[in-house]
Structure 1
Amino acid sequence: MLHVLLENFLYFLVVEKGLAENTLSNYQFDLKSFFAFLASKSVSEIGTVTRHHIIAYLVSLRGQGKSPATLARHMACLKSFFHFLLREKIIDQDPTANLETPKLAKIFPRVLSVNEVTLLLNQPALGTLLGLRDKAMLELIYATGLRVSELTGLNVNHVNLDMGFLRCVGKGSKERIVPVGSFAVKALMEYLNRSRAKLVKKTKEEALFVNQHGRRLTRQGFWKILKYYAGQAGITVEITPHTLRHSIATHMLENGADLRTVQEMLGHADITTTQIYTHLTRTHLREVYDHCHPRAK
């Protein structure tokens, strides 16, 4: 019975909410974890779940060392699931009602300096097919702030190099137009003219970025590429594809961009998501002020 409810819920999220595949995978994983917990407590009917079961589940996750962010994600998933069941009249009461989401500690994203980004972007060997591809990917993701899934999901016809923009589909299947800077345009042209046609094995392949077998590059594939070049550049801290996204937002704000512009470019549904970067720029402003103002200290 529970697996049927899960399938119906996921279908609802796809059809009515338009959630991204990654989000759906997280919901599915979290709910299966919750169902396993219920089974361990001999709870087989969803209508018998109480707020005490929800609290006990969150306590068990915390006992496993899960972070506040993970607890908040599980809680958000459960709230959405039980709200769906209530709406569909499968249950009479929502056990998550009036339960607060665990508070998150303010964790500010790690960003690269402009010098670190420059070092990273200069690592690919431009004399090789894969090096040309990697240079184009790194330049493009830094130029646009795309999510890694948006980057790997690009098709050739999504990019207009003459006009200097691209079209991408982000979270919730929302489409947006993003400008592309001259460095990224040049790197993309080099990749398209000298590399991609030789990598692609199938003439009808639509993907902009392909692997050595000529098929669409995966998110995991890009992650490995990024880690390799970060090591080559001597960047010792752990970085992820999202680090570049954080970095472009911070660098733009430091150079005078307004929040609304950055929000639109990154595809944030809520400007409060973008506002986290204002803390980073204020920190930068404080450092510059302390270093440069004659009466700062």
Structure 2
Amino acid sequence: MTSPHAAEQTLLLGPANGLVGVITPPLPPANGQAPREDPPFVIILNAGIIHRVGPNRLHVSLARALSADGFPVLRVDLSGLGDSQGREDGSAPLDAALADIRDTIDTLQATRQVKRVVLMGLCSGADHSVIYAASDPRVVGVVLLDPSIPRTKGYYLKHYSGRLLSLRTWKNVALGRHPVWQLLKRRAHGAPVGEGDAAGGDMAAARPAVTLEHPEVRAFLENAYGRALGNGALFLTVLTSDRERQHNYRRQLQDAFPALDFNGRLLIEYFERCDHTFTTLASQQRLVGLVRRWMGAAGFR
């Protein structure tokens, strides 16, 4: 019996054919339905340093499900990952990733007349997707799985209110093991909050850490989302409870960038009791079903 995925094929991309991807072409529609008219090409980016199959073969599951719905899908390894060659131009990691994405889309446009793409990624793949979408109007949609989002007042309210109600927190306070005791000891000795422990007042330890909440980082991300919106991109964002240190409620993305008007072009779902890499079959099925419904109803320009 022939596999419905037997048509998957390897593709070399970029000016030097140094990037390697696997295309899952759209399957013929079932029950005599008309094929999807001019669907955008879905490009799934690496999650961190994981090969293009994705964590727990998540990218394979997404590609084959979307293929069954009539969308062509490319799972690509960025330079230096999986089977792709490393870049030799000395680009910084973010610059290299953005150049790889552009090379990938350019190759699809030149060889397959692709004019519209949907970028999809988990973790770093999500960040690369939205940052790149800011610069290329060919990106008509982005699927962001656990992207980087600055923490907000709403985040801290939920974070600390949950701990105030925790029996373990009060037990640690009573036993002197809670971090608040270290803070009080340092203030009692005249040390300012956030000062490092290095002898002699190490200046490096005293510098404020560059976090997602840093004004320049927040402005950079806000600009990326704003420009992608300006290009007409649609957004699907999925947040998992496993990333509680980064985000812990559904509306955190909108609250982090209140100046942006997503104007009905953003769907966010928060997956409780779900780990960052969608390990369980149930969480993968839930995610795949959500992505399929969104892709089918999005109405890309």
Query: Does the pair score TM above 0.5?
Result: no
Could you state the TM-score of these two structures normalised by the residue count of structure 1?
Answer: 0.23
Could you state the TM-score of these two structures normalised by the residue count of structure 2?
Answer: 0.23
Q: Which has the higher strand share?
A: 2
